[in-house]
């Protein structure tokens, strides 16, 4: 192990011990407040291209198991933590946190004052950063450092994937979906087709779905603006549920606007108020962008959920069509399961929308 550094575009420098991949790596520096669930966070495709700062100081205590991955790989650019446990203790553990990152070629900077990093991000906002062993490269790096607006093409499936069930046939539009979304649909008996984000309306119609789920994913939703007309046609034809990035894309398809939060919502305890009932749900969230109030067509959509902390839009419901969206993650891995009922409500909507094909060929 050698000394490493996190350099921020503000010029701030944080020192730590570098484990694993030792080549300089640039990413968007963000933080997550969850106390557990680091394995799910590491494997969430929505974090593609980001340098994750874990707020909770003790990371790696229960190791890495063989069942909690949210995708087939690790997609984030790098990891920054305070105290790293090298000798995990859990009966399901098959490798350590450090071994997991090393095998994936992802750098981990440990022994960092993560409180100071988070404080800087909260003050200055989400920003570019670099994990490196060479602290004096700031001027050269900052002059050429860039971030891709979207990495959906890196995390979306390249071809259709089919899962057989006895219930409604749901197409899961893959912008970087979490495995737990697929698991939730399969647990409800659905037949599921995971479709590439480039799937057109005409191609989707050929699949004869009973409903569509638009998944989470990384980056700026406006980077996918060329697909908005296709998304609008899909939602006008089939019952639809948008989650996180999927929520933002559906909103954009109907003329709404999105904006970037100062430092985003990432954690497992974000309170969200359901406006129709007045109930407050604790939710799992992971996003930088939000749908703004100003662009929402009040004749088309009603705001169904709001964030208790900052009043940002957390969900939309179409006034005429069976289309609902949520900014948070109802599958909640990691996080509370308060809003899992959204999946059941979506399937109930499918059944109410008319006869379903209940495809059994997948």
Domain boundaries, the chain: 2-144, 152-352
Class assignment of domain 2-144?
alpha beta
According to the model, what pLDDT value does residue 150 have?
94
Residue 46 counted as an annotated binding residue: yes
- The rounded percent of the chain whose pLDDT value lies above 90 is 95
According to the model, what pLDDT value does residue 22 have?
76
Asked whether this chain's domains 2-144 and 152-352 adopt the same fold, the reply is no
Q: What is the mean pLDDT of the chain?
A: 95
**Residue 276: active-site member:** no
Residue 18 counted as an annotated binding residue: no
- The length of the chain, given as a count of residues: 362
Residue 27 counted as an annotated binding residue: no
Of the candidates 190, 244, 270, 287, the residue annotated as catalytic is 244
- Cβ neighbours of residue 17 closer than 8 Å, sequence gap 6 or more: 1, 2, 3, 4, 109, 110, 111
Question: Which CATH architecture describes the domain 152-352?
Answer: 3-Layer(aba) Sandwich (3.40)
According to the model, what pLDDT value does residue 273 have?
98
State whether residue 106 is helix, strand or coil. Answer: coil
Buried/exposed code over 254-279 (b: 16+ C-beta within 10 A; e: otherwise) = bebebeeeebbbbbbebebbeeeeee
| Measured distance CA(169)–CA(269) in Å, rounded | 32
- The rounded percent of the chain whose pLDDT value lies above 70 is 98
**Residue 28: active-site member:** no
Residue 289 counted as an annotated binding residue: yes
**Residue 287: active-site member:** no
């Amino acid at each position: 192990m050698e000394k490493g550094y996190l350099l921020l575009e503000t010029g701030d420098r944080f020192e730590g011990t570098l484990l694993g991949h030792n080549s300089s790596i640039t990413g968007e520096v963000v933080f997550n407040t969850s106390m557990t669930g680091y394995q799910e966070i590491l494997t969430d495709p929505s974090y593609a291209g980001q340098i994750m700062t874990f707020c909770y100081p003790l990371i790696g205590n229960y190791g890495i198991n063989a069942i909690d991955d949210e995708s087939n790989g690790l997609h984030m650019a790098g990891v920054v933590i305070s105290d790293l446990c090298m000798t995990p203790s859990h009966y399901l553990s098959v490798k350590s946190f450090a071994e997991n990152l090393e095998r994936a070629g992802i750098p981990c900077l440990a022994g960092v004052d993560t409180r100071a990093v988070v404080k800087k991000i909260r003050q200055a906002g989400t920003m570019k950063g670099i994990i490196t062993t060479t602290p004096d490269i700031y001027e050269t790096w900052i002059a050429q450092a860039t971030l891709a607006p979207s990495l959906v093409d890196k995390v979306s499936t390249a071809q259709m994937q089919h899962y057989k069930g006895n219930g409604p046939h749901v197409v899961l539009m893959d912008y970087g979906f979490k495995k737990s979304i697929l698991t939730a649909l399969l647990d409800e008996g659905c037949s599921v087709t995971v479709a590439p984000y480039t799937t057109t309306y005409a191609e989707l119609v050929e699949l004869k779905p009973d409903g569509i789920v638009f998944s989470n994913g990384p980056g700026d939703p406006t980077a996918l603006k060329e697909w908005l007309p296709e998304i609008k046609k899909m939602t006008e034809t089939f019952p639809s549920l948008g989650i996180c990035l999927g929520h933002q894309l559906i909103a954009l398809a109907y003329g709404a606007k999105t904006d970037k939060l100062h430092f985003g919502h990432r954690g497992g305890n974000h309170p969200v108020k359901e406006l129709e009932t007045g109930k407050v749900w604790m939710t799992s969230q992971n996003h930088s962008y939000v749908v703004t109030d100003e662009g929402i067509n009040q004749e088309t959509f009603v705001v169904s959920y709001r964030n208790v902390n900052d009043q940002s839009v957390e969900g939309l419901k179409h006034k005429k069509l069976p289309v609902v969206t949520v900014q948070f993650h109802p599958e909640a891995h990691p996080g509370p399961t308060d809003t899992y009922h959204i999946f059941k409500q979506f399937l109930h909507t499918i059944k109410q929308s008319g006869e379903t094909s209940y495809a059994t060929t997948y």
